[in-house]
């Protein structure tokens, strides 16, 4: 009897490590903390995390400027890849212990374990590493829902993608191509424009040294674009409207330059019969239509494009030393316009090209600065 009670208590009180901060501030506030290991609830799956990502939302949350949604974990991490370690009651039977999965999360991904509603899990494509898979959920599902759920992109339409070299931007370029539409991008350097061209952009313009709206009009022979994916906000509104076509859709999913607009925005919007849409993937209700529906449609439409290597996430530099990490995080804090993605892993000493169990702390940086 005593042994049974002790065993149950041990199971439910098991602990894990997570990236944590006690008060808002800079990257120096981050540390590894021992916390309670979560237990899967009704319809949830316990995932042993091998890779997770740090998005801009995580940076803002750490600085106290973007609180997690009600009921979400206060641990950072909006996406993760790993293996199924446990099944809660009521699971449908789709997943088995040991399955390699990736997940979209409301939080909690930067830890050794995370619980996920089973509908938000997706299988990792064949021959893809955990590191690669961790690059997919947030960026690719954001781009997918912006284009298909919000923008309803159609064949032949022209899509302007701001921050084209960001994680969302690079995903959007490839998804626009898959939809047989035409991706046009903006970015801040020639190197980034070349990267977007390699990803499939039909045209790209450097917003730092040319008027992208006039260049877009020139490229489209005066017609403008049908859809704009905009994570910049206020500073672009006039140029966006200048190159937006009649009946065009302007989709705002970020406000890197702020949200305060001065001028005749509404009058110009009406004159083009254009529409403004806004979207935040994290705030969509996972119990309603959005989270599960998006994951299912993404899984069905996109999954085999990864397996056939038609699509691929973009990875660059690996960081394994804490001083390197802190220096990079400080540089990101001081940059004026950026969109970044990291990967946080507990990794064994075996090859990075394999799916691994979790031991040592490693971060790898995905080059997505605008």
Low-confidence residues of the chain, pLDDT below 50? 3-7, 9-11, 285, 287-289, 316-323, 325-326, 329, 331-370
Other beta carbons within 10 Å of 194: 14
Q: Copy the structure tokens of residue 45.
A: 């799956």
| pLDDT at position 315 | 57
- DSSP secondary structure letter of residue 67: P
Q: What is the residue extent of each domain of the chain? A: 14-136+284-366, 139-279
| Torsion from C-alpha of 257, 135, 314, 348, nearest 10 degrees | 130
Quick one: 354 exposed, middle or buried, by C-beta within 10 A (0-12, 13-18, 19+)? exposed
The rounded distance, in Å, linking the Cα atoms of 69 and 263 is 33
Quick one: 360 exposed, middle or buried, by C-beta within 10 A (0-12, 13-18, 19+)? exposed
Which fold does the domain 139-279 belong to in CATH? Rossmann fold (3.40.50)
| pLDDT at position 291 | 56
| pLDDT at position 216 | 99
Q: How does DSSP assign 129-150, residue by residue?
A: -HHHHTTSHHHHHHHHIIIIII
Contact in structure between 23 and 40 (CB atoms under 8 Å): no
Angle between helices 167-178 and 290-307 (to 10 degrees): 70
Quick one: 155 exposed, middle or buried, by C-beta within 10 A (0-12, 13-18, 19+)? exposed
Q: For 116, left (φ over 0), alpha (ψ -120 to 50), or beta?
A: beta
Which fold does the domain 14-136+284-366 belong to in CATH? Quinone Oxidoreductase; Chain A, domain 1 (3.90.180)
Burial 72-103 (b: 16+ CB within 10 A, else e): ebebbbbbbbbbbbbbbeebeeebeeebbbbb
| pLDDT at position 304 | 66
- Secondary structure of the chain: what % helix, strand, coil (to 5)? 35, 25, 40
Print the SS3 string covering 20-32.
ECCCCCCHHHCEE
pLDDT in tens, 284-319: 545 444 555 666 677 667 766 776 656 767 654 444
| pLDDT at position 126 | 84
The three-state secondary structure class of 248 is strand
Contacts for 51 with CB less than 8 Å, ≥ 6 apart: 80, 81, 82, 130, 131, 133, 134, 343, 344, 345
How far apart, in Å, do the first and last CA atoms of the chain sit? 61
Q: Is the pTM of this model over 0.95?
A: no
């Amino acid at each position: 009897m005593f042994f049974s009670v002790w065993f149950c208590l041990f199971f439910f009180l098991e602990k894990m490590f997570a990236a944590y901060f006690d008060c808002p501030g800079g990257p120096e506030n981050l540390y590894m903390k021992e916390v309670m290991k979560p237990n899967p609830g009704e319809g949830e799956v316990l995932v042993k995390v091998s890779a997770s990502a740090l998005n801009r939302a995580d940076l803002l949350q750490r600085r106290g400027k973007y609180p997690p949604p009600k009921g979400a974990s206060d641990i950072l991490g909006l996406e993760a890849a790993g293996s199924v370690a446990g099944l809660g009651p009521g699971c449908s039977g789709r997943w088995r212990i040991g399955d390699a999965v990736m997940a979209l999360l409301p939080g909690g991904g930067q830890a050794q374990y995370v619980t996920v509603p089973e509908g938000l899990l997706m299988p990792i494509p064949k021959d893809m590493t955990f590191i690669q898979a961790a690059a997919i959920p947030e960026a690719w599902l954001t781009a997918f829902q912006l284009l298909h759920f919000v923008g309803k992109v159609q064949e032949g339409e022209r899509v302007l993608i701001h921050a084209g070299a960001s994680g969302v931007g690079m995903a959007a370029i490839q998804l626009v191509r898959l939809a047989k539409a035409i991706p046009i991008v903006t970015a801040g350097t020639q190197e980034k424009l070349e990267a977007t061209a390699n990803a499939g952009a039909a045209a790209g313009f450097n917003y730092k040294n040319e008027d992208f709206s006039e260049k877009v009009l020139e490229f489209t022979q005066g017609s403008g674009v049908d859809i704009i994916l905009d994570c910049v906000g206020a500073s672009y509104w006039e140029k966006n409207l200048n190159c937006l076509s009649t009946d065009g859709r302007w989709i705002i999913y970020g406000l890197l330059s702020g949200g305060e607009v001065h001028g005749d925005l509404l009058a110009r919007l009406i004159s083009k019969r254009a529409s403004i849409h806004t979207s935040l993937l994290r705030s969509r209700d996972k119990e309603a239509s959005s989270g599960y529906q998006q994951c299912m449609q993404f899984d069905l439409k996109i999954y085999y494009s990864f397996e056939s290597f038609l699509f691929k996430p973009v990875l660059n530099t690996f960081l394994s030393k804490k001083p390197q990490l802190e220096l990079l995080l400080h540089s990101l804090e001081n940059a004026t316009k950026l969109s970044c993605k990291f990967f946080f892993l507990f990794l064994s000493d075996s090859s990075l090209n394999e799916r691994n169990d979790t031991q040592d702390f490693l971060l790898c940086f995905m080059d997505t600065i605008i």
